[in-house]
Amino acid sequence: MKKTNCKKARILCLELLDDRLNERGKKALFSHLSACPDCASFYRQTKKVKQLMVALPTPELDPSFNSLVRSRIERREKELPHRIPFFPLRRRLAFLIIPLVMLVFSFVFFLHKKPVESELLRLYRQQHYIYTLQNPLISNDSAVKMLLISGQE
Amino acid sequence: MEKDFLEEKDEILVQRSKNGDKEAFDALVQRYRLPLFRFVYHCIHKQEDAEDITQESFVKAYLSLSQLKNNSLFKTWLFRIALNLIRDNKRNEKKKPTISLDSYIEEEGKDPVAEAEYEDGYEEEAESEDNELLARLRMEISALPMELREVIILRDLQGFSYEEVAKMVGCPVGTVKSRLFYARQILREKLAPFLKDEEDEK
């Protein structure tokens, strides 16, 4: 039971250090810390580490920092202003529209164009048509069979 | 620089900078140069590189200002740019030989942290013990994995909220909390023997 409370207490310690603990949580935590020396030590050490973090010294910044930034920006702007982007908007649109038009065109073109028939197939169709005209009662399958037989003869 | 620029909100200064007002951008540089430098320095521990990265962050921010949709988020956006530059710097460093902090101290015969504190006139025993702790803490922070280091510096050193840190490092708030937990645990464990001595003395 105590282990669970200690684990929870350590999480509450970190929340307290981040100012994210409500009054109820604080009350529960402090009552545990007063009874548990390990957790109390944990809280003190973690708090100390956080205080030390805030106190970490930082070297002085170059006093001419602002002017260095300004000159760097000016230098960069001189390199960039007349550069034409590789893919300007017009070019991008062209790359998009042209293939689309070609696709639509080829689709329409192939859809309407009649397929080129072979001469043999054309003759066969002609014969089949004539045969069915002459023999309207005959079924399509029988007509094909007759044509094939006559062809072989 | 005009006085009222220094008191203006970020949104107004950013909008003016977008409209070509360089004085407004100067005010932003003035406002964030120290916190940004502090963050970058404690991530990489090299003054020259830290200054270079800080300057470059402002330059990149200026040149990409039009990409910032929400002017009030300038601060988190700026720190995000700096973080990306730090990560690039880290990647490039792997290709170059590095000098450890310990060898620097041995070769030069001085600890820059202790030296800085001495120059400020710290003479009392309690404060010199703190200086030692600070030097150790700095070493332990630099030994942390980068993803833990970023989070603990942004949260504990810079005072950003969990949500702001999450936006800067590009991960969920839950991930930030767990990284922070591990980072603090590692630092506490490493410094525990020295902190324990302090408690015993008291």
Tell me if B130 and A55 make a contact (CB, 8 A cut-off).
yes
3-state secondary structure of A135: coil
- Phi and psi at A63, nearest 5°, equal -60, -25
CA distance from start to end of chain B: 50
Q: How confident is the model at residue B172 (pLDDT cuts 50, 70, 90)?
A: very high
Tens digit of each residue's pLDDT (9 = 90 or more) over A17-45:
888 888 988 888 988 999 999 899 889 99
Contact B116 A57 (CB under 8 A): yes
Average pLDDT over residues A51-67: 89
Residues of A in contact with B59 (CB under 8 A): 69, 72-73, 76
String of DSSP letters for B126-180: HHHHHHHHHHHHHHHHHHS-HHHHHHHIIIIIT---HHHHHHHHTS-HHHHHHHH
Please answer yes or no on whether B117 and A58 come within 8 Å at the CB atom.
Answer: no
Q: Give B145-169 pLDDT, tens digit per residue.
A: 999 999 999 999 988 999 999 999 9
**A61 at the B interface (CB within 8 A)?**
yes
Banded model confidence at residue A83, pLDDT cuts 50, 70, 90: low
Contact criterion met (CB < 8 Å) for A53 and B58: no
Measure the CA–CA gap between B148 and A78, rounded to whole angstroms: 39
| Residue contact A58–B42, C-beta within 8 A | yes
Using a CB–CB cutoff of 8 Å, tell me whether B180 touches chain A: yes
Across residues B172-188, what is the average pLDDT?
Answer: 92
Task: Give the pLDDT of residue B121.
Answer: 39
Q: Residue A37's CB: how many other CB atoms inside 10 A?
A: 9
Tokens 């991930």 map to which residue? Answer: B175
Chain A residues with CB-CB distance to B137 below 8 A: 49, 52-53, 56
Q: Please give the structure tokens belonging to residue B75.
A: 């601060």
ipTM surpassing 0.85: no
Cβ atoms B56, B50 nearer than 8 A: no
